[in-house]
Structure 1
Amino acid sequence: MPTAATRRDFLRLGAGAVALGIPNTAAASAARGNSVILVNLTGGLSHLDSLDPKPDAPAEVRGEFGTIATTVPGLRFCEHLPLLASRMRQFALVRSLSHRENGHLPGTHRLLTGATMPNQRGSDLDNILSRRDWPCYAAALNQIRPRHDGVPNGVTLPHSLIEGPLTWPGQHAGFLGPTHDPMLVTQDPSRPTFRMDAFTPAAGLDPDRVEGRRSLLEQIESGGTGDPTFRDHQRRAFEMLTSDRVAGAFRLDREPERVRDRYGRTMFGQSLLLARRLVQAGVPVVQANMGIVQNWDTHVDNWGRLKSRLLPWLDRALTALVDDLEGSGLLDRTFVACLGEFGRTPKVSTLPGESIPGRDHWASVYSGLFAGAGVVGGRVIGRSDKTGAFPTSTAYTPFDVGATIYQALGVAPDSEIRDPQNRPNKVNGGDPMAVLFQN
């Protein structure tokens, strides 16, 4: 071991690596299991103005957009989703997603964990939303199937969902503790300056010195000294620094320009390109937040925001992602779920003090797109009523979506996870959506 590697040097490297974004996760086991890309339409996509339009409804329900035909006979989409309309053979559309939480926080928690958010108690809100949450999918997988090869179990990109002092619930490991948190990207990958410094050793740290410091870590651990959680973080820092699999995935500059252009030079587009590269590197769970907090929360200027930015960006990026996964053979083992925490109200409204109308929160019925990992595409599953207000067929909940995600990862929804008191908990209480995989 190089003589320059002191315990103080080691601790400095470990703390610095964590600060630079090295994951608080050990990732799942297993070399080539299925992966999941959760495309989170944070804030809630208006199903009526995208995937479930009602062209024959009254104007106050119908909204401002026209519709176009898709490749599925009789199925029409909003006019601003032409690429998705042309690719419906790759997707199953579910139009009867439903639950009862019209608030962003409990709705987001259900989407990102497949479970109900714990009760809130006034001044304890911040604590409840940080370490009393149910664990996100990557965190639970990390406890069930840990691994130590430098590949994180989950990556959240291009940022976490934070609003002022409040971190939205369900994004982290919750009661499993920070050791199981997914890796967090904190930059817009469409920016020319995008890079992940977590994979760059400090100046003067060549591979031999890094390996020497890993040996020092092992000596410290064998002596039983130090905080166990901090030691876990440091160990993972070394695993990341000595593995190029994930580091290479973040080198978007290695992608051909035409490929980057096809996804769109937007945060949406480059985030989904990065998601594809991470899946190629073996990351089991990628959560792509499509927009800042409440980006799709279109209380005001619903049609202007959807038309000029949100729908075209998503249309381009999501089709490029699924095209690439299919072309590379990865779609067979990558489950793609694209949905928000809820939909938008059937009736158009204008907020007090605002002049441009929009739609409010609506969890009673909404839509989502699913592809890959055996999903049978080219189909519509479920129906909403004539105003897009309630399901008129079997309804599927976020708990069922969560059960399907776990099933795609090779984890039975009734698998056991344990809290810090070693109490067992069933990871999910939903039912896998078998209908997605049936002709």
Structure 2
Amino acid sequence: MDSLRRRLTGELVEPADPRYAELTAGFNAAITATPAAVVEARDPQDVVEAVTFAAGSGIPVAVQATGHGIADSLDGALLINTRRLDECVVHADGWARVGAGVRWQQVLDAAAPHGLAPLSGSAPGVGVVGYTTGGGLGPVGRTYGWASDRVRAAEIVTGEGVLRRVTAETEPDLFWAVRGGKGAVGIVTAMEFDLVRQERLHAGALYFAGADAATVLHRWREWSAGLPAEATTSVALLQLPPLPGVPEPLAGRFSVAVRFAWTGDPATGEATLAPLRAVATPLIDAVQVIPYAAIGMIHADPVDPMPVHETSDLLRELPAEAVDALLGVAGPDAGSPQVIVELRQLGGAFAVPGEHPSALDHRDAAFSLITIGVLVPPVAGAVAPHADEVSAALKPWSTGATLPNLGAAVGAERIARSYRPETLSRLVEVARRFDPSGVFTVGQVPVR
């Protein structure tokens, strides 16, 4: 480790160092990461040095910037923290270049003065690179598609310790793999991607009482089936705790949130949402014209770490029977321990192939399903078994697949659900070619 320390511009932090806990902390407080050491990279060359050292020492490598991708203990690995790679440049002609440590809100704020917008996720505090390499399922995706399809170029340190600039023309296999393949082929130090011209949205959420859950879900199912691509929507069954920051009408009670983002004319968006507004009296009506940079208010995702358990599935359809099954296992009378059970409508631009082929699979799914439970007494022991019950209840309409970014998770079973066999086979082949020592074999990467 001392030999590596001497080669770094940044710092090498070992477990006895007071900063170790800070640099290994993840967003999911239920997971404690225990890598052998952490490299806090200050530039891409630090990443090169760390990967080269690991390959020569037989130590596996993992990477994090914001902590949202930590999914296992990383025991014995060398963790490369890229949060200091914070370059963020927005070009007025419609594209951006960011370092691996940049979060979406930084890009949102930098793009807004130009009338531009990135295809960020529902939580702007998430890192750009981890989100995009997993596909990028965002709140306006039915209009604009996946974030990974907007990537122009990536700079990647591969397993041989080589920094490569990857484009569709220069490195087609790596370019294919990095867009959807998560960390399979290396550590991204910078990324360039196209922006969209969207200054404002007609967007937000309607929150209804739990007593209206069945009415709202069935109406949402019918209404969403006829939506044009200007609309992206989701519905969530919520049981939010009475904590600071939770609005009083929602705190400590069952509620239903209908999320809505309209990229077209606001008046048309208002008319499009009207049937949902009329289905019941909302506890809170937060749908309005907002600056695109405020896109995080649509889902209002939590910003503080907490111990959670997440599961995810993809559905090929959502008939009325599926809604009844979901209400039976997670509705207001089901005794569900989950904080959130969410359905996102896919389709629209999500279903359209990108300009360049990528490792992102399952574009043909109609809906995503995710459960999130908080692992605290007295429900901690019930969360995981109940999440399995939710998946089982929706199994008749499930594709059996999931997406790489729908809940951080590891293991062969999760990887197999995230990729079709032919995609996984190609990912493994590309990864072995550019990482012959098997450095990248921990964390959310395809097993080899």
Q: Which has the higher contact order (CA 8 A, sep 6+)?
A: 1
Structure with higher strand content:
2
| TM-score normalized with structure 1 length | 0.29
- Structure number with the higher helix fraction is 1
